[in-house]
């Protein structure tokens, strides 16, 4: 499966800078998962989720102590070619755990 098939959405700050993204979880299509290069505190993540998806959306936040690397930088990334390391682990909430490599969910 490809990330681009999971309705991905960029999360941006007030200036339009990309901070992260969300996508529909392959494990539960009623929930979204998130990824940030440098996750803000959970309360700020929730504000970003509400702004992007509305207050009724269910989005799993990221651990603020974890950091993800997007090959080539987040500003130049596309959902068709993005590579994220390390893995995204949503298993604590019953969601998907795996890697995004060249836009492919593995």
Please compute the mean of the pLDDT values over residues 15-37 and round it to a whole number.
97
HSE (CB half, 13 Å, CA atoms) of 37? 16
* Mean confidence (pLDDT) of the chain: 97
**What pLDDT, in 10s, does the model give residues 67-84?**
999 999 999 999 999 999
Question: How many Cα atoms occupy the beta-carbon half-sphere of 12 within 13 Å?
Answer: 7
Half-sphere exposure of residue 90: CA atoms within 13 angstroms, side-chain side: 22
41-63 residue pLDDT tens: 999 999 999 999 999 999 999 99
Whether pTM exceeds 0.85: yes
Q: What is the three-class DSSP state of 93?
A: helix
For strands 104-105 and 97-101, give the pairing.
antiparallel
What pLDDT is recorded for position 18?
97
Number of structural domains the chain divides into? 1
| Domain of residue 42, residue span | 3-105
Q: What is the pLDDT, as a whole number, of residue 59?
A: 98
Q: Cβ(35)–Cβ(62) under 8 Å?
A: yes
């Amino acid at each position: 499966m490809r990330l681009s098939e999971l309705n991905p959405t960029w999360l941006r700050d007030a200036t339009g800078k990309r901070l992260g993204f969300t996508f529909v979880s392959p494990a539960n299509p009623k929930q979204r998962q998130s990824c940030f290069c440098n996750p803000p505190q959970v309360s700020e993540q929730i504000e970003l989720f509400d702004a992007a998806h509305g207050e009724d959306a269910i989005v799993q936040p990221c651990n603020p102590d974890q950091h993800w690397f997007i090959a080539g930088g987040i500003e130049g990334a596309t959902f068709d070619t993005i590579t994220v390391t390390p893995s995204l682990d949503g298993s604590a909430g019953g969601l998907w755990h795996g890697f995004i490599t060249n836009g492919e969910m593995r």
